[in-house]
């Protein structure tokens, strides 16, 4: 099955064409049949436990030899519990409502035409992701549930694990009598595969890349297929003069410390000048104890002199680590302006009991998700109640914020007449 | 104001940056203020009549010298009635409901977070279009009404007309106390401007190109900003065995003849073999009288021998002219398969009274708009009841089919808490 470098482009195009044919068949498959196939996939994963763990052991051995970081090894590692969790995740997707067929509008025109706007699958989705084998299963199950075919290109370090998982998924599809071509696995570690894949706009309808910002930018520059990026997250928390300072401290601590390596973690703290003397020393102490390095502007350092000095670059940096930049602002307007200039437009929070300031913040900050008195860490499909998510979009079109099943659909118009022609 | 070739990129980026700043101000402007500014723009256009017609005369003289086609000259030409129609179109946009602020979802999470999904403007839209001065005004008014800033790059032949119109729009914005930077006019005929513009993803949120298929493909290949293409329209009408043949003849005639140069015109006619003997000779005669050149497959030519023979390429060609390819099919399934293989996935119609066949067609044809017993020519924002349209999208993401005001918006999530943090 491995693609030879010479024929790589042709092989990938053949797979994309097969995916497109499968997508046409999938679009009208009833929910019960999709769910039955997903249940078969869950069972195939459970019964494939030994084979999956063996393949994963190969991947881990290679990664260890290549001196992969602990973080990479952790994401790559499967064990019995994690394989069981994969099967469980598929069953959770079975339990979610099917968005396909939902009517999102219905009206009649003066000439008698009846128009219905109906949710339909997007078609063929190319999903390009990091070396996390569980994502292979999640992505396949989400795409299938929403009636899409999917082309999976996972991180090279997981190639053996993914190959076995893809074969289990194929067996589940066969048992459920859905087209096996609906889930295509690019069985290659050749980096040249990605630029080929993202240019197949004849067969592929959407590319969802996950990874660092540079990688997303590379995909956008190469792609002719539309891209929904799961990109940079540079989130802010603004502690207003009218904040409950104990609440503010808890939210700030949570937004920075609970999981610093993710896109919904806070990177910059903005504090109103009227409360900075009371708020910042305590907050800085608590953050410092948790190992957070603080980088403040002049006004912040005047109050907490132990802070490092922030440079201009700090306001634009997604640390993804226990580092936090801190700026003192004179007004909510200044906070809004700073955020709109430096944010990745994903998630920001205001802590305040001043309704006017809150309304201004919610109206004028131009980000996907705005929080009042809550942590930015809730930007997540599960936390939003969408069930499993395929990613978080900081694109502005089609999907903005957490992407669940609905975001894997589009719509078509059905127009019923009795012979109408246009003047 | 003209961009010097040397500084072109920098000038365009400066305009895009200014547009982005204006977009931030526009996002929270109430409907009444946007409408007031639009009314001022309408008046500026009316009072600028003489200046507009003079500038247009310059453009026409240049175009005539360059031996532009009648079609191009017609699109370029303004006269008193057409300028009045521009002002009227702006007032029609005033009358449309403002989509911004609309709540499209509202729910509460078990942890007490209240989530609201609200429509907001997209931000900065780059609109690249043919040499039609009326489109300058339409596009500016639609984008403004939906709270967006817009960067206009019109066809070079209309440069003088557009410059005057842009200055009138600017005066209307000033009178309405909206930021003048909200409507940016690229005052250049340098083709190099387009590839620069579509790569400014830091400032521009969406590119809407209008034009031929090759042009759209060029934009997609160059752009890093998301593109909503108004592209090729290769539409089909399928006359089923259970069709009312008189109705079928009327629909076919309308879909081909009423305006052959547009994307929702029919290019290929599919006829069920059981009715082809009765249907095709009469339909062919009527189409022939209207000047339509027919190109049939073997079975069609066996019945109407005067038809030219269709070649394989005919099934993939958007004629945009009085040419029609004709194919005889044995089943609705064969019609569906042909359409899914050759269509541009914009609009198709089935003429039939067989509910099973109609359902199959509506479920399985993968196009933006499907018609039952009606002409494909209704794929249009006005005909759908959207009011003015900025284009018709044959993209599948965000906007599919006619694009009105709603399609010029996105959403954000507002999340209200009382101190929630994530475990």
CATH of the domain at A208: 3.40.605.10
Put simply, the answer to whether A362 touches B414 (Cβ < 8 Å) is yes
Closest Cα partner for A111 from B405, B238, B378, B402? B378
Question: Within 13 Å of residue A67, how many CA atoms lie on the same side as its CB?
Answer: 0
Residues of chain A with Cβ-Cβ distance to B407 below 8 Å are: none
Residues A217 and A336 in one domain: no
Contact A328, A273 (CB under 8 A): yes
Please write the tens of the pLDDT for every residue from B402-423: 999 999 999 999 999 999 999 8
Cα torsion angle, B4, B8, B12, B17, sign: negative
Instruction: Give the pLDDT band (50/70/90) at residue B213.
Output: confident
Put simply, the answer to whether B422 touches A377 (Cβ < 8 Å) is yes
Number of CB atoms found within 10 A of residue A98's CB: 19
Q: pLDDT tens per residue, chain A (423 residues)?
A: 444 444 677 799 999 999 999 999 999 899 999 999 999 999 999 999 999 999 999 999 999 999 999 989 999 999 999 999 999 999 999 999 999 999 999 999 999 999 999 999 999 999 999 999 999 999 999 999 999 999 999 999 999 999 999 999 999 999 999 999 999 999 999 989 999 999 999 999 999 998 888 888 899 899 999 999 777 889 999 999 999 999 999 999 999 999 998 899 999 999 999 999 999 999 999 999 999 999 999 999 999 999 999 999 999 999 999 999 999 999 999 999 999 999 999 999 999 999 999 999 999 999 999 999 999 999 999 899 988 788 898 888 999 999 999 999 999 999 999 999 998
* DSSP strand pairing (A266-272 vs A235-239): parallel
In a domain? residue B393: no
Average pLDDT estimate for B38-56: 98
Question: Within 13 Å of residue B57, how many CA atoms lie on the same side as its CB?
Answer: 8
Choose among B364, B398, B423: nearest Cβ to A27.
B364
In a domain? residue B38: yes
* Length of chain A counted residue by residue: 423
Q: Which domain holds residue B182?
A: 8-231+399-416
Contact A132, A74 (CB under 8 A): no
B410 contacts chain A (CB < 8 A): yes
A408 contacts chain B (CB < 8 A): no
Residue B388: per-residue pLDDT: 79
Give the residues across from B353 on adjacent strands.
none
In a domain? residue B409: yes
Nearest chain A CA: its distance from B328 CA (Å): 22
Put simply, the answer to whether A27 touches B366 (Cβ < 8 Å) is yes
> How many structural domains are present in chain A?
2
Please write the tens of the pLDDT for every residue from B6-17: 467 779 999 999
- Residue B112 CA to residue A372 CA, distance in Å, equals 12
A381 contacts chain B (CB < 8 A): no
Residues A244 and A212 in one domain: no
Nearest CA in chain A to B115: A384
State residue A391 phi and psi, 5-degree precision.
Answer: 160, -175
In a domain? residue B130: yes
- Residue B402 CA to residue B381 CA, distance in Å, equals 5
Choose among B115, B250, B396: nearest Cβ to A123.
B396
In a domain? residue B136: yes
Residues A168 and A291 in one domain: no
Put simply, the answer to whether A206 touches B373 (Cβ < 8 Å) is no
Residues A218 and A303 in one domain: no
* DSSP strand pairing (B401-403 vs B235-239): unpaired
Residue A7: per-residue pLDDT: 67
Rg of the Cα trace of chain B? 24
Put simply, the answer to whether B413 touches A369 (Cβ < 8 Å) is yes
Put simply, the answer to whether B398 touches A397 (Cβ < 8 Å) is yes
A88 contacts chain B (CB < 8 A): no
Residues of chain B with Cβ-Cβ distance to A378 below 8 Å are: 113, 415, 420, 422
A109 contacts chain B (CB < 8 A): yes
Residues A184 and A91 in one domain: yes
A369 contacts chain B (CB < 8 A): yes
Choose among B109, B410, B417: nearest Cβ to A396.
B410
Please write the tens of the pLDDT for every residue from B338-389: 999 999 999 999 999 999 999 999 999 999 999 999 999 999 998 999 887 8
Residues of chain B with Cβ-Cβ distance to A371 below 8 Å are: 415-417
Residue B294: per-residue pLDDT: 98
Instruction: Give the pLDDT band (50/70/90) at residue B138.
Output: very high
Strand intervals (E) in B256-394: 266-272, 293-296, 308-309, 323-329, 347-351, 369-374, 391-393
B104 contacts chain A (CB < 8 A): no
Largest alpha-carbon pair distance within chain A? 79
- Residue A239 CA to residue A335 CA, distance in Å, equals 9
Residues B287 and B213 in one domain: no
- Residue A160 CA to residue A2 CA, distance in Å, equals 11
A363 contacts chain B (CB < 8 A): yes
Residues A80 and A144 in one domain: yes
In the stretch 385-404 of chain A, residues with CB closer than 8 A to chain B read 385, 395-398, 400-401
State residue A123 phi and psi, 5-degree precision.
Answer: 135, -105
Nearest CA in chain B to A217: B224
Interacting residues of A202 by C-beta distance below 8 A, sequence separation 6+ = none
Query: Buried b vs exposed e over A143-152: b needs ≥16 C-beta within 10 Å?
Result: bbbbbbbbbb
Residues A47 and A191 in one domain: yes
Put simply, the answer to whether B373 touches A221 (Cβ < 8 Å) is no
Residue A394: per-residue pLDDT: 83
A388: three-class secondary structure by DSSP: coil
Interacting residues of A121 by C-beta distance below 8 A, sequence separation 6+ = A23, A26, A27, A100, A146, A147, A148, A408, A409, A410
Number of CB atoms found within 10 A of residue A386's CB: 18
Residues B226 and B239 in one domain: no
Put simply, the answer to whether A206 touches B378 (Cβ < 8 Å) is no
Contact A144, A182 (CB under 8 A): yes
The pLDDT > 70 percentage for chain B reads 98
Put simply, the answer to whether B247 touches A416 (Cβ < 8 Å) is no
Nearest chain B CA: its distance from A248 CA (Å): 8
A21 contacts chain B (CB < 8 A): no
In a domain? residue A309: yes
Mutation choice for A interface testing from B206, B396, B423 by most A CBs within 10 A: B396
* DSSP strand pairing (B369-374 vs B347-351): parallel
Residues B249 and B310 in one domain: yes
Interacting residues of A285 by C-beta distance below 8 A, sequence separation 6+ = none
Give the residues across from A401 on adjacent strands.
A393
Put simply, the answer to whether A217 touches B227 (Cβ < 8 Å) is no
* DSSP strand pairing (A183-185 vs A149-153): parallel
Task: Measure CA of the first residue to CA of the last residue in chain B; give whole Å.
Answer: 56
Residues of chain B with Cβ-Cβ distance to A22 below 8 Å are: none
Residue A2: per-residue pLDDT: 42
Put simply, the answer to whether B378 touches A113 (Cβ < 8 Å) is yes
Contact B141, B89 (CB under 8 A): yes
Nearest CA in chain B to A115: B384
- Residue A156 CA to residue A66 CA, distance in Å, equals 12
B353 contacts chain A (CB < 8 A): no
Nearest chain B CA: its distance from A406 CA (Å): 12
Nearest chain B CA: its distance from A377 CA (Å): 6
- The complex's ipTM works out to 0.92
Nearest chain B CA: its distance from A190 CA (Å): 23
- Residue B347 CA to residue B341 CA, distance in Å, equals 14
In a domain? residue A394: no
A341 contacts chain B (CB < 8 A): no
Residues of chain A with Cβ-Cβ distance to B224 below 8 Å are: 217, 220-221
B371 contacts chain A (CB < 8 A): yes
- Residue B324 CA to residue B319 CA, distance in Å, equals 8
- Residue B165 CA to residue B71 CA, distance in Å, equals 22
Residues B298 and B364 in one domain: yes
B224 contacts chain A (CB < 8 A): yes
- CATH code where residue B375 lies: 3.40.309.10
Quick one: which H or E segment has residue A219? helix A213-222
In a domain? residue B257: yes
Residues A55 and A185 in one domain: yes
Contact A383, A95 (CB under 8 A): no
Instruction: Give the pLDDT band (50/70/90) at residue B5.
Output: very low
Q: Where are the alpha helices (DSSP H) in A290-388?
A: 298-303, 332-342, 355-364, 381-384
* DSSP strand pairing (A293-296 vs A308-309): parallel
Residues of chain A with Cβ-Cβ distance to B412 below 8 Å are: 367-370, 400-401
Nearest CA in chain A to B418: A373
Put simply, the answer to whether A224 touches B217 (Cβ < 8 Å) is yes
Nearest chain B CA: its distance from A325 CA (Å): 20
State residue A76 phi and psi, 5-degree precision.
Answer: -80, -25
Nearest chain B CA: its distance from A335 CA (Å): 14
- Averaged confidence pLDDT in chain B: 95
């Amino acid at each position: 099955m491995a693609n030879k470098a010479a024929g790589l482009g042709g092989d990938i195009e053949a797979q994309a064409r097969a995916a497109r044919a499968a997508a046409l068949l999938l679009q009208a498959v009833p929910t019960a049949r999709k769910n039955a196939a997903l249940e078969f996939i869950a069972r195939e994963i459970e019964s494939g436990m030994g084979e999956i763990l063996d393949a994963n052991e190969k991947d881990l051995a290679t990664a260890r030899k290549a001196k992969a970081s602990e973080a990479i090894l952790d994401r790559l590692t499967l064990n019995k519990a994690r394989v069981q969790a994969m099967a469980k995740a598929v069953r959770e997707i079975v339990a979610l409502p099917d968005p396909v067929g939902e009517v999102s509008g219905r009206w009649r025109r003066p000439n008698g035409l009846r128009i219905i706007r109906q949710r339909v699958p997007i078609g063929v989705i190319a999903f390009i992701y990091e070396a996390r084998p569980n994502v292979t299963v999640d992505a396949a199950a989400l795409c299938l549930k929403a009636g899409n075919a999917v082309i999976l290109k996972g991180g090279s370090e997981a190639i053996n694990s993914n190959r076995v998982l893809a074969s289990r998924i194929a067996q589940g599809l066969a048992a459920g009598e859905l087209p096996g071509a609906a889930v295509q696995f690019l069985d290659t570690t050749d980096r040249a595969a990605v630029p080929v894949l993202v240019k197949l706009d004849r067969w592929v309808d959407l590319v969802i890349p996950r990874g660092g910002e540079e990688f997303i930018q590379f995909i956008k520059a190469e792609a002719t297929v539309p891209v929904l990026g799961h990109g940079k997250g540079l989130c802010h928390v603004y502690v207003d003069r009218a904040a409950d300072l104990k609440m503010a401290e808890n939210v700030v601590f949570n937004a920075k410390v609970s999981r610093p390596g993710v896109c919904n973690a806070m990177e910059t703290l903005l504090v109103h000048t009227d409360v900075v003397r009371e708020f910042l020393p305590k907050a800085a102490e608590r953050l410092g104890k948790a190992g957070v390095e603080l980088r403040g502007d002049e006004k912040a350092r005047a109050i907490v002199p132990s802070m490092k000095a922030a440079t201009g670059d700090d306001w634009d940096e997604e640390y993804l680590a226990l580092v936090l930049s801190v700026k003192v602002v004179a007004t909510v307007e200044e906070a809004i302006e700073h955020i709109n200039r430096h944010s990745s437009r994903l998630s920001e929070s205001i802590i305040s009991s001043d309704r006017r300031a809150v309304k201004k913040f919610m109206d004028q900050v131009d980000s996907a998700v705005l929080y009042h008195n809550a942590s930015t860490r809730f930007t997540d499909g599960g936390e939003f109640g969408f069930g499993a998510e395929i990613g978080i979009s900081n694109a502005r079109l089609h999907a903005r914020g957490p992407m669940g099943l609905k975001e894997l659909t589009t719509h078509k118009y059905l127009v019923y007449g009795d012979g109408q022609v246009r003047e």
